[in-house]
Structure 1
């Protein structure tokens, strides 16, 4: 099996996954090496992942800048989301399994007639002597890691959403063009979307939430004195990851990116702009499953067929090549262990612990 593993970051967990799967290549969107090294050493945890993969004969390729700038790449994917192309989120999560007593588990128990409320009702019906049994600690119910799902490249089921999945009329331009690359006219970093008609900010928030996999929450900044329900958006500046270098100086009603610093977001809202951030890699991760996986699978199948035909015509093949040529399969999968280091903690209402701030 010729298998490729797609991931945003090359972490130790992802390296373990690739080795267990016996992948041939890891396509890690973010480069793991950002500066020149005189040596690679096992004392550095990230370099250790590279060396372990090399020892297993697994190559690593990082297409970060190319994917950001390419027409139809990450920037256009985010622009597609904000203009109404709604990928259908997969039901499975690849961030964390719900632990016992997590809100997700409790919700399932309640649907089956169990859970906290059912226990409380049963407790009221018992004699006083039976009520002395130890109660389940409620504090354990307050801790859960957010569980975003990832979009897949399938049409949205319009019967299950109030949003119109057809693309909203708009024009789109590149914020920072890359010129002189033949065949890639229109390449560049960031996109400026201008709607023909202003769009309610509330609808854009819903559209973005659907498009990136319905996370439990993400930051939204608006100018002071404004109400979210009253804001209309005509222009949107889009950039994946850390967007300040691309979006600074862009005159847009809404900045849609992975992350901005406190002072960058404050400067934007002081100018009357709104800001939506998804956490750095959550603005990038869905692209792997909804776009890159399918495109890469198609290209690799064609290339592997060409290589097989060339090798099959050789006069003498080693046993290893004979076995390889017989294998027609090419598999591209997204990592199940890749996730943004930040999640959203969802707190249930509970009695306050500790002293309140004065």
Structure 2
């Protein structure tokens, strides 16, 4: 490395990394009515030791993920779900999440959350789920609940895809989802017209990562594909003749880190390094990692 590793250079690299994440998933696409996206923790401690800057991607920022970030000496954690969601009245060690923030700040690790910007973006989490459900074989897609700050209308918090008529049975879609999300089991709520899963066909699928009840509430489709629904939402769906595949909240999100987020971020960092000012990343070796400690908190026996 031709430049000395300094606090100033590491700080500039951190800002460049956050800017690159925002290039991929602009803050303006997030749902600013209720979500809390952006830089949630900016550590005041910058203690550079090498020219390697590590970015750790995770869905949830648990204690185990914090331990991993410390062990791997990450500079930045990109946590899909915001660890700070409601106003904090104090920051103490007695609360595990607050303790995690204190540990990270002390170690010089900052935390950024893109959350619903990832859901909304073209090529983001919901488009990935559309490919999972259909193996990429849908003939059209429509945005559900468009991002209000995107005049193009091409981004939003759900997707409605149309399949070729008669191509996929209910069982086909179930198996696609299990395979694409690497799950042994999923929950399925079958409408009466879909009870014979081997012959009933699906033409339209409404999709929302995570909790889909509010985003999809007014959408008529043959099938809903989401992470979680309440008991009464499921009952109402079946009454409407709509089936649902319900996979567990983070099971509809975690796979995108490896298949979408990480490669896109790596490619954009490489592109920025090559095309922008030579000092953009201060000749640091940038490493994008997906957390190995992050996992769904619910186990199916």
TM-score tier (shorter): 0.7 to 0.9
Aligned partner (choices 211, 214, 222) of residue 245 of structure 1: 214
1:336-347 matched pairs, under 5 angstroms: 336-345=292-301
| Residue of structure 2 in register with 1:332 after alignment | 288
State TM-score, norm by structure 1.
0.65
Distance 1:181 1:239 in 2: 19
Contact residue 143 and residue 153 of structure 2 kept, 8 A: no
How many residues get paired? 248
- Deviation track 1:266-295 (CA, whole Å, cap 9, x = no partner) reads 111122111101100000000000010001
Distance 1:235 1:43 in 2: 48
| Residue of structure 1 in register with 2:278 after alignment | 309
Distance 2:79 2:270 in 1: 20
The answer on 1:34 being equivalent to 2:3 is no
Distance 2:104 2:244 in 1: 39
| Residue of structure 2 in register with 1:235 after alignment | 204
Instruction: Say which SS state the counterpart of residue 239 (structure 1) adopts.
Output: strand
Contact residue 55 and residue 76 of structure 2 kept, 8 A: yes
| Residue of structure 2 in register with 1:292 after alignment | 261
CA drift of 1:308 comes to 7.9
| Residue of structure 2 in register with 1:73 after alignment | 124
Distance 1:212 1:241 in 2: 13
- Deviation track 1:12-60 (CA, whole Å, cap 9, x = no partner) reads 0000000000011101000011111233221111111111111100010
CA drift of 1:309 comes to 2.8
1:200-239 matched pairs, under 5 angstroms: 200-213=169-182, 215-224=183-192, 226-239=195-208
| Residue of structure 1 in register with 2:62 after alignment | 11
State TM-score, norm by structure 2.
0.77
Distance 1:204 1:51 in 2: 44
Aligned partner (choices 276, 284, 293) of residue 245 of structure 2: 276
| Residue of structure 2 in register with 1:155 after alignment | none
Change (3 A) 1:249 1:169: closer
Instruction: Say which SS state the counterpart of residue 160 (structure 2) adopts.
Output: strand
- Deviation track 1:276-327 (CA, whole Å, cap 9, x = no partner) reads 011000000000000100011122234456788338xxxxxxxxxxxx95x5
CA RMSD of aligned residues (A): 2.0
| Residue of structure 2 in register with 1:113 after alignment | none
Distance 2:102 2:271 in 1: 30
- Deviation track 1:80-115 (CA, whole Å, cap 9, x = no partner) reads 112213xxxxxxxxxxxxxxxxxxxxxxxxxxxxxx
CA drift of 1:224 comes to 4.4
Aligned partner (choices 21, 46, 53) of residue 97 of structure 2: 46
Distance 1:230 1:267 in 2: 24
- Deviation track 1:221-260 (CA, whole Å, cap 9, x = no partner) reads 1024722223211110000001001111210110000011
Contact residue 83 and residue 170 of structure 1 kept, 8 A: no
1:120-135 matched pairs, under 5 angstroms: none
Change (3 A) 1:61 1:169: closer
Using the TM superposition, name which of 168-177 and 49-58 deviates more.
168-177
| Structure with greater Cα Rg | 1
